[in-house]
Structure 1
């Protein structure tokens, strides 16, 4: 009887871990980093990933002669933990900055400051929602929230890591927001609850985001 009673629980855990995860960042997971979320619409990135985005109607991508990448932020500001130490948090933002510069520099010179003819990219690493143990979307810290309750109940030791980003694209002369994007992705799974997350666990996600953003910009120029 005990074995039979475990079947629904195992099925439910599997669904919660894999089947009910939305491809898009839900409105209740928005961090508040962007000024206006009401204009966002569902779309696909150049790589085919689901994104929430908005591009100002009539924006002329050819009017920009250079691009300025602001240092990426962790928003809301997290507190380091043993699981995700300060070194990891710093490493993630530093890698994100470099990935964005590498990808955008393929299409535009990098500017040293905002100004006329400069497109500003203002990126942030934001939190994701974990619907376990009553956690609110930003109650722990961004980057990785573990489905600890489900993992303990089912004996699943691997822990999911997920990352979300929000970015605004701003005209360097008028300071007007001309585009916004919100998206999330899965990082490298951790083997168990004692494994410390490292910046390298998020690199593939960050590289993909940066490439998609730069490619999207380039497509607007055509």
Structure 2
């Protein structure tokens, strides 16, 4: 029967829920690649470029994106990379919820344990809503950035400064959201562990069925 276990991580106990190997394998196969792709976004850095012209009204420094894991150098590319990472993730989390629901139906869980598994399902559904909000944020900010770029093409100093400030603010917000999402996915991976099947009783030694041959008397 499934049970909940407490594990100590440092000084803080951590509760884990036991599931069968199929559920745990599905979680690892779906979420681990997503976590690795999120790490590519989190490794991106926004670096200020040295100003070439002095005594100009464009006092805000120019920025460029840099990462050793991808070739995106502007916010447009980073938004597209983020949307590609988030694409399909809600469906994968929903598949985990369905698999977990099937596991609960197969096991006769006590009322207290049943509530904890239902709470885990609810947390995953909340994470799906969070990802959908991140997708909407990327689409909205990408549309707003296009408008800022159109205004900045007019060589207006104020428009260029507004674009740089907008990029800096959106980069920090995007980095914070993706960092939170990565930790949420890691927590889901750590929440479930494979249940330990009971050991089979040791078999008693079987006496040899061989009979020593009786010597023939002459």
TM-score range, shorter chain: under 0.3
Bigger helix share: 2
TM-score (norm. length: structure 1): 0.26
Greater RCO (Cα-Cα under 8 Å, separation 6 or more): 2
Q: Which has the larger radius of gyration?
A: 2
